[in-house]
Structure 1
């Protein structure tokens, strides 16, 4: 099949990209608004752009009417957000937090997710997350129908059960990724190991 992007609808383009760029890691992002209401939502357009001085990014739709999702708006207004790593035991709760709810209703409560305090930012974190990164806003960039939000990692929370010799052990961290369509996947290391 050969396809010219100009011959495709926006939905068709989106489906191909989201199916080809997989598995996509999921940032389960917690924020708080200027009134103190907390928010928790998953974003599967997420990655890091710097590691020695960690900077992570997530992309949020700008909406048909130009309105941002609560998470992106909160991150821009407060300058803070937390990225909670999604693992298999929390897959169903994470998916539930993608349900549309009014801005003043907490997805923590909606999906019965336990909160914990962050050390450097006001937003709560997912208490049972294997890894959480507390971030402060680095910058934001508008790209077509998305807003890219970049955050400098200020603090890590790492659960003891995913560590071996004080390092994260990928055989213990069952991260969840997004595939095309309605599908998820769970990371399981293969037998082949990087050699170079």
Structure 2
């Protein structure tokens, strides 16, 4: 199979693009609106983009509530989605009106950050507190922007549950991070954890 994306004639029942770029980590983004409302939503367009400084990014199709709040307040959190809370994660993705508290909707506990004024999921095994560094809209080959909004944030504080730490490192078999695979498919990243040593130089 081969096709060009300008015409996108792949002949499949669903566009395969997002299934090819997989697995994708899920950023469970917590924000607080200027009106004081709390918001929580999962984004599979999420990743670490830099280690020094520690920068993460989530991308929203349009200025949805999380992107709006992060841009207006300058802060957000990202909680780790583990297998045992994948149900609440899914519940928090419901398309509800602005101001509806998805923490309550999903039966989760909102805990405010220590360094930023934004909530994270207390039940999560790990969470990142972030300050916004950039908000951009990607530019296509034709020089125009679509509806996508990318929010970059520097991680200023990190929460990790002691329950997933073994021998001085996070045990991913215990953390069991969930990733998006495309379509309605997800993967449990803790079920087949293995190590590979990098080759030595020369």
TM-score by length of 2: 0.88
Give deviations 1:74-109, integer Å, cap 9, x for gaps.
000000000001000110100011101111110011
For residue 135 of structure 1, the aligned residue among 119, 130, 133 is 130
1:45-84 equivalences under 5 Å are: 45-62=45-62, 68-84=63-79
| 1:134 match: secondary structure | strand
| 1:172 match: secondary structure | helix
Identify the residue that residue 99 of structure 1 maps to in structure 2: 94
- 1: distance between equivalents of 2:15 and 2:5? 12
| 2:173 match: secondary structure | coil
Give deviations 1:116-150, integer Å, cap 9, x for gaps.
12101111110111110000001011013311110
Identify the residue that residue 15 of structure 2 maps to in structure 1: 15
Residue 191 of structure 1: how far off its partner (Å): 6.3
**Structure 1 residues 168, 52: CA separation in 2 closer, same or farther (over 3 Å shift)?**
farther
Gaps of 5+ in 2: 139-145
Native 8 Å contact 1:29 1:43 kept in 2:
yes
1:157-196 equivalences under 5 Å are: 157-188=159-190, 190=192, 192-196=194-198
Identify the residue that residue 156 of structure 2 maps to in structure 1: 154
- 2: distance between equivalents of 1:118 and 1:6? 43
- 2: distance between equivalents of 1:189 and 1:115? 28
Equivalenced residue count is: 188
Give deviations 1:31-87, integer Å, cap 9, x for gaps.
00001100000000110111132100011001xxxxx10000000000000000100
1:29-48 equivalences under 5 Å are: 29-48=29-48
Identify the residue that residue 121 of structure 1 maps to in structure 2: 116
Structure 1 residue ranges, 4+ long, deviating more than 4 angstroms after superposition: none
Relative to structure 2, which stretch is displaced further, 141-150 or 73-82? 141-150
Identify the residue that residue 65 of structure 1 maps to in structure 2: none
Residue 8 of structure 1: how far off its partner (Å): 1.5
Native 8 Å contact 1:15 1:180 kept in 2:
no
Native 8 Å contact 1:40 1:108 kept in 2:
yes
| 2:36 match: secondary structure | coil
TM-score by length of 1: 0.91
